[in-house]
Each structure stands twice: as structure tokens, then as C-alpha cells.
């Protein structure tokens, strides 16, 4: 069964929210070598810092609830709660809560600190009309936060559509390539984001059942370059040579190496690049 999030019953049931606190955040540590693939076409992000972000929501937008909120992650990987693998972690959605003051204490389990401990990349959000501030925060196996978080995003819920069902909003289980579009001309370096709906992502070393990691294949002139994201990464910055490419994204089972799902292939043209 797919996981989705209806926040209002939780708010009514718990009747509590963590006290507001102001975080004094320190820069995230420099990335480990394993967090950026060792491939001549792969580069670190321009800011060279780990961060979480929302891939389908910008600050100041308005939405009708329920809607799907999607999570992105730079320079780190995903691993479910209770599992340790490198510096991978799992996502947490903070609703009308600033970042915690103490980054050495576990995050609470309340209606305003929502945990995605299975390795999910999205949530179904169902809030009453109003304006909310959302933050995304990565934490370790014990829910102790990393200094890996999003910028706060304000969203206004204009209405709640009671006719919408969770299954109808979430749609079928699937993989998607984000950040580039089919037949698009791009200039390197450019970001390719991976998204899994209805699947859980995990670092391969954690050996988690019913989870997978991404594999991206770039085809050019009959040749294939295969990139394996074994650390649970969900994006890559690419700077390949000029030319026409086909991008193929797969989700690979972490216990059996079989393909769990595949995204529709995308065809792009790299118009310029620093690579030869």
C-alpha cells in the first residue's frame, strides 16, 4: 500500500505543536567522494553543498488540497530510518516550524514534524485553507537532523477539494526524469533529477527489502554510459560532450539487482559543454 499524508486528522488528534525555535545552522560538511559519482561527465552542484528542496513547489505559490509534494536532495543519498549507510538519511517535512535549535536531538513525532522513514520521495498533503510555511530536513537513522535542509517555502491553500481521492491525486506508481524535457537542447553542466512515485529509495549498502536505487544510462552514437547511484542519490549534474543523447532511468532492486521500474526515455541535445 502506498503511503500518503493527511495532516488535518493528525493535528486534531495530537493537539500539539513544538515550540518555535530559531536555528543557527552551520554549513554542511564537504561531500564525501562517494556522494559524487566518479565519472568524467559528472560534476558536483555549483554551490558544492548538500541541500534538500521541493521539486514541484516554489515560494509563494497557491494550491488546492490535497496535492502531492515532491522532495529533492543534493549531495546526499536516501536511506530508511533505522538504517546506517554513509551519510544518507531520510526526509522530514516541517509544517509551520522553523529548523530545530539543537541539531543533536532527535526530531519529535508530531503532526508538524512528518517523518518519511521508508525512503519516500513525496507526500500527499491535505491542509485546510490558509497560508503555511514548509521546510524539508534530512535526518539520520535515529531522526537526528543533518545540516541538510531546504529554504522555507510559503504556500497558500485556497481550497480543499473533498471530491479528490488519494489514489486519484497520487496516480500510479512510476519513475520520472525531472529537470530536463524530451527533445530539449541543454548546455552543460545541467541537472537531471530522478523521481519515484510509490517506490522507496535506499542506499544499496543498507540492504533494505522492497527498496531500490537509481540507474541512469546515457546513449550516444550506439555507445552507453551507465551511472549507478548506489548511495541513494536522487539527482546528478552532467557535463557530457556535445551531441544527441537518450536518457534512460531505471529503479534497481537493492536485494536482487532486477529492474523495479523504468521511466519513459528522454532525448536531449547537449549544445555546448566543457567536456571534449
Domains and CATH numbers, the chain: 7-15+41-169 (2.60.40.10), 174-272 (2.60.40.10)
pLDDT of 31 strictly over 90:
no
Q: What is the DSSP letter of 265?
A: P
Grid coordinates given for 172: 500510479
Residue 145 pLDDT grade (very low, low, confident, very high; cuts 50, 70, 90): very high
Tens digits of residue pLDDT in 219-274: 999 899 999 999 999 999 999 999 999 999 999 999 998 999 999 999 999 997 66
pLDDT for position 18 = 36
Asked if pLDDT for residue 137 goes beyond 80, the answer is yes
Q: Which three cell numbers, joined as nine digits, stand for 70? A: 515532491
Place of cell 541535445: 269
**pLDDT exceeds cutoff 80 at 4:** no
Q: Is the peptide bond before 189 cis (omega within 30 degrees of 0)?
A: yes
- pLDDT band of 2, cuts 50, 70, 90: very low
Burial of 106 (0-12, 13-18, 19+ CB in 10 A): middle
Q: Are 154 and 133 in contact (CB under 8 A)?
A: yes
Measured distance CA(148)–CA(145) in Å, rounded: 8
The per-residue pLDDT for 35 is 79
Question: Which of 12-16, 40-44, 127-131, 132-136 is predicted least confidently?
Answer: 12-16
C-alpha 214/C-alpha 231 separation (Å) is: 9
Amino acid at each position: 500500500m502506498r503511503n500518503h499524508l493527511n495532516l488535518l486528522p493528525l493535528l486534531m488528534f495530537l493537539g500539539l505543536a513544538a515550540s518555535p525555535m530559531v536555528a543557527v545552522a552551520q554549513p554542511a560538511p564537504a561531500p564525501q567522494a562517494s556522494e559524487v559519482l566518479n565519472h568524467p561527465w559528472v560534476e558536483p552542484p555549483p554551490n558544492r553543498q548538500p541541500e534538500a528542496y521541493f521539486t514541484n513547489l516554489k515560494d509563494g505559490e497557491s494550491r488546492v488540497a490535497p496535492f502531492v509534494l515532491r522532495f529533492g536532495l543534493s549531495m546526499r543519498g536516501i536511506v530508511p530510518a533505522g538504517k546506517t549507510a554513509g551519510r544518507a538519511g531520510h526526509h522530514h517535512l516541517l509544517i509551520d516550524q522553523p529548523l530545530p535549535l539543537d541539531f543533536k536531538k532527535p526530531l519529535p513525532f508530531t503532526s508538524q514534524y512528518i517523518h518519511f522513514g521508508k525512503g519516500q520521495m513525496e507526500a500527499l498533503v491535505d491542509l485546510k485553507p490558509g497560508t503555511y510555511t514548509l521546510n524539508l530536513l534530512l535526518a539520520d537513522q535515529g531522526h537526528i537532523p543533518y545540516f541538510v535542509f531546504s529554504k522555507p517555502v510559503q504556500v497558500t491553500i485556497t481550497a480543499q477539494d473533498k471530491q479528490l481521492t488519494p489514489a486519484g491525486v497520487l496516480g500510479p506508481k512510476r519513475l520520472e526524469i525531472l529537470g530536463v524535457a524530451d527533445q530539449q537542447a541543454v548546455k552543460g553542466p545541467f541537472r537531471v533529477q530522478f523521481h519515484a512515485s510509490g517506490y522507496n529509495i535506499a542506499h544499496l549498502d543498507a540492504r533494505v527489502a522492497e527498496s531500490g536505487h537509481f540507474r541512469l544510462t546515457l546513449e550516444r552514437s550506439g555507445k552507453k554510459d551507465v551511472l549507478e547511484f548506489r548511495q541513494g542519490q536522487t539527482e546528478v549534474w552532467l557535463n557530457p560532450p556535445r551531441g544527441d543523447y537518450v536518457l534512460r532511468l531505471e529503479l534497481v532492486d537493492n536485494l536482487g539487482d532486477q529492474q523495479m521500474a523504468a521511466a519513459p526515455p528522454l532525448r536531449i541535445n547537449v549544445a555546448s559543454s566543457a567536456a571534449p
